[in-house]
Amino acid sequence: MILAIESSCDETAAAVIDETRILSNVVSSQYFHRKFGGVVPELASRAHLQYISEVTSKALEEAGLTIQNMSAIAVTAAPGLIGSLIVGTNFAKGLSLRYGLPIIPVDHIEGHIYSSFIQDTGLEFPIISLVVSGGHTAIFHVKSYEEYDLLGTTVDDAAGEAFDKIASLFGLPYPGGPEVDKLAARGNPKAFNFPRSMITSKDYNFSFSGLKTSVRYYLQNNFQNGIPESIIPDLCASIQAAIVEVLVYKTICAAKAMKVKTVAVSGGVSANSELRFKFAGEAERCNIKFVSSDLSYCTDNAAMIGFIASRKLNSKNAEYFNNLMFIANPSSLKKKMKEKKNN
Ligand code: KG4
Ligand code: ZN
């Protein structure tokens, strides 16, 4: 039985996991960042401090258990906002020390990668996993619970960041991704022809900052006196199509090249309706299984942290996780990604 804690960005989350069964999954989202147009790191850590205890108690209560029933604590240790990570890791260390429980530090991205297995524990390795959120866009070749290779990543903005930054160019509130998704439903994706950056590159990397620049110049050059409301749905549908097409194309290419029969997508952007629709269609056409988890496991949550921690605990002795000396790291995986970019 594992109590998992996640606080890497702007969600304070806790969950209780029994082997692979999620007994509770509580998430408190910091919506107040909206008025600033993005996450303010210092305010995020203060809000984590304010809510972490309450969120953890709620997770235990919803599972019908107490901390005495737990056999380990799992916590996100990297990557993320350093102040936010420090709150979660120190809270977890406190519980570990007080109740004599082993502590399992977890990489947030690993949480996302394996989140597809929460609902479908029968899913077989290998899989190609696309992690696509506000902070990350990366394709992994996942061979087991211990082994995965990074195939490619964004060389500039993450896809969610692109949705958010582009949406702000025409006045949509933060986060722009869900707003674009909604408006795009009544727009024409072919109305504007925006670039599909790096779609023909022979690697699995992405680039989204060129799309942002292209939309900015298009708007500046054509609508000096303001953008007419009437074009917003077409604009959203065309921008969404440009982002989705590259994500789907490169992920399916990776699956074909690696001869992998399952692709999974996770992270906040995987909530996008067009992305799910296009992935499902393209995967079916290529005879590949497509897995998109329930949204509660796609966006930031502690269930995914507890889930991969339970796999780690199964493969090693609990004593292995008695070290409280680990430190929160804002960029452990990014470092790996940079190495990949430079290769
Ligand atoms: O995984 P997440 O909740 O947090 C991290 O960034 O780790 O992802 C948030 C991102 C934001 O950029 C948001 O705009 C995007 O996911 N997003 C979407 C949709 N829902 C959330 N992007 C496109 N379409 C959506 N429906
Ligand atoms: Zn995340």
Report the SS3 class of residue 127: strand
Task: Compute the distance from residue 34 Cα to the ligand 1 centre, in Å.
Answer: 13
Ligand 1: which of 164, 269, 300 to mutate, most ligand atoms within 8 Å of CB? Answer: 269
**What torsion do the CA atoms of 315, 319, 324, 327 make, to the nearest 10 degrees?**
-20
Question: Does position 22 have pLDDT exceeding 70, yes or no?
Answer: yes
pLDDT (mean) for 207-231: 93
Structure tokens at 8: 């890497």
Q: What H or E segment, with its residue span, contains residue 246?
A: helix 232-257
Cα gap 179→163, rounded to integer Å? 9
Asked whether the beta carbons of 274 and 183 are under 8 A apart, the reply is no
Task: Compute the distance from residue 74 Cα to the ligand 1 centre, in Å.
Answer: 24
- Token look-up 């493969």 returns 315
Among all ligands shown, which has an atom nearest to the Cα of 108? 2
Work out which ligand 1 atom sits closest to the CA atom of 133: 8
Work out which ligand 1 atom sits closest to the CA atom of 174: 14
Cα gap 19→338, rounded to integer Å? 34
Question: Does position 137 have pLDDT exceeding 60, yes or no?
Answer: yes
Q: At residue 39, what are phi and psi to the nearest 5 degrees?
A: -75, 130
How far is CA 247 from each of CA 64, 128, 130, 270, 321, rounded to the nearest angstrom?
41, 12, 8, 10, 37
Task: Compute the distance from residue 117 Cα to the ligand 2 centre, in Å.
Answer: 16
Task: Compute the distance from residue 248 Cα to the ligand 1 centre, in Å.
Answer: 16
* Cβ-Cβ contacts under 8 Å for 137 (sequence gap 6 or more): 130, 131, 153, 154, 158, 159, 160, 206, 208, 247, 269
Label residue 315 by pLDDT band (50, 70, 90): confident
Question: Does position 334 have pLDDT exceeding 50, yes or no?
Answer: no
In tens, the pLDDT along 158-183 reads: 999 999 999 999 999 989 999 999 99
> What pLDDT does residue 37 have?
80
Task: Compute the distance from residue 224 Cα to the ligand 2 centre, in Å.
Answer: 37
Among all ligands shown, which has an atom nearest to the Cα of 173? 1
Label residue 336 by pLDDT band (50, 70, 90): low
Report the SS3 class of residue 123: coil
Label residue 90 by pLDDT band (50, 70, 90): very high
- Token look-up 């996450």 returns 39
Least confident segment among 8-22, 96-110, 313-327: 313-327
Output the ligand 1 site: residues, CB below 6 A.
9, 133-135, 160, 163-164, 175-178, 181, 267-269, 271-272, 299-300
Cα gap 159→331, rounded to integer Å? 18
In tens, the pLDDT along 264-287 reads: 999 999 999 999 999 999 999 999
Tell me how far the alpha carbon of residue 253 is from its chain's centroid: 21
Residue 41 CB-density burial (10 A; 0-12 exposed, 13-18 middle, 19+ buried): middle
Among all ligands shown, which has an atom nearest to the Cα of 168? 1
Task: Compute the distance from residue 156 Cα to the ligand 2 centre, in Å.
Answer: 17
pLDDT (mean) for 294-314: 93
Cα gap 181→184, rounded to integer Å? 5
Tell me how far the alpha carbon of residue 57 is from its chain's centroid: 25
pLDDT (mean) for 48-65: 98
Question: Does position 340 have pLDDT exceeding 60, yes or no?
Answer: no
